[in-house]
Structure 1
Amino acid sequence: MAVMDRPRQIIECGDFVLRCWRGQSDFAPAFKLIEESLDHLRPWESWVARHSAKSTREFLATAESKWASGDVYNYAIAKDGSLIGMCQTYRGVEPQGRRMGYWLHPAATGQGIATRATAAMVTEMFTLPDVEYLEITHDLSNASSAAIPRRLGFTEVLRERGTPPAVPSGSGIAVVWRLNRPTPPINGTPCP
């Protein structure tokens, strides 16, 4: 695996692609994606309450600078030329860790896309020399989000009370999953 200082801006995933945001030229498709996903996201995403055309423009306006600084690597998930979701990784509490998040348009759920997109991000993030572990956090009540880290080999490391409970459907308990950087094989032989 090649070591890089920034992830690729486009990650091919077979029938869909992860790509960095294209500034304001992505406004119309991003706004439509969010608008069509509001009811699906509202139970789990606190930012939905602040969603507006202005907040979408602000998100797109800062995406490039956050990418350049390494603070947030935010990807659009596109299939057949249409946006179907978003995924991101951002700096964690410790400098060697990053947190990950993902969501899909309701019509794109149940197809393994979120799991495959997250797996692609995991592989990409471990090409960065300063990333030693990745974390996924979700509300305890969000079974769909819990399935992804479980499928990808993350280990549950913590349950903590959110302050305040972030979403109306949430339990107020955040579950934190962690995946450590794989140990490289010795002399080209995979570890058992």
Structure 2
Amino acid sequence: MGLEPWQAAEFAAYVERVRDALKPWIPWAYTILDEDTARALLQSYADRQAADSGRIFGVYVSGELQGGVLYRTFDAEQGVCEIGVWLAPEARGRGLITRACRILIDWALDVRGMTRVEWLCDPRNAHSIATAQRLGFTHEGTHRKSFAFNGEHRDVQVWAIVT
């Protein structure tokens, strides 16, 4: 299910509940502080969806938001997109993210004709790496000190599925 700006209160409450688990990996865990900041992020993805350049989806368990998946980038002209994910600790180990990502990958490749689906993650994020491997991504390399996050220059692993 897509996450829309009208769901900002729910998204803000979710981030507040799982903030500590997200902080090591997700920049918006620091910036989603209330309904307004949640709405701004969700609106940015609504705008990306309208421009065919990204989209955000919630992962729900028994009607409760537990995580999400997104096309962080989506460039139909170049045939390249990037998938991102997050999940509440209590929802891990059920295959929720793997199933949601399989839908995103299949849609990108089979419906939209993408030639490359990327997965970028911190080399210290064992959960993310394991998910990329389960989904059939190939580790292409590591960009050293690729981006600044929380006052630290971080490495990023590049994983991809190509057709």
Same fold (TM over 0.5): yes
Q: Which has the higher strand share?
A: 2
Corresponding residue number in structure 2 for 1:88 = 70
CA distance in 2, matches of 1:171, 1:112: 31
Written as runs of structure 1 = structure 2, the 5 A alignment for 1:146-165 is: 146-165=129-148
Which residue does the alignment assign to 2:128? 145
Give the superposition deviation at 1:64: 2.1
Does residue 128 (structure 1) correspond to residue 111 (structure 2)? The answer is: yes
Gaps of 5+ in 1: 1-18, 182-192
Measured after TM superposition, the shift of residue 146 of structure 1 is 0.2
The structure with more radius of gyration: 1
Consecutive unaligned residues in structure 2, runs of 5 or more: none
Residue deviations 1:142-164, cap 9 Å, x none?
11100011111110112102344
* Matching residue's letter, 1:86: G
1:55 to 37, 40, 61: 37
Task: Identify which of structures 1 and 2 has the higher relative contact order when contacts are C-alpha pairs closer than 8 Å and 6+ apart.
Answer: 1
- Residue in structure 2 matching 1:78, options 50, 60, 73: 60
Alignment partners' CA distance in 2, 1:149 and 1:60: 25
Q: CA deviation at 1:167?
A: 4.8
Q: 4+ residue runs of structure 1 moved beyond 6 angstroms?
A: none
Greater helix percent: which structure? 2
Alignment RMSD, CA only? 2.1
Q: Given the two structures, how large is their TM-score scaled by the length of structure 2? A: 0.88
Q: Identity over aligned residues, as a percent?
A: 24
Structure 1-normalised TM-score? 0.76
The CA deviation at 1:22 is 3.1
Q: What is the aligned length?
A: 161
1:106 offset after TM fit, Å? 1.7
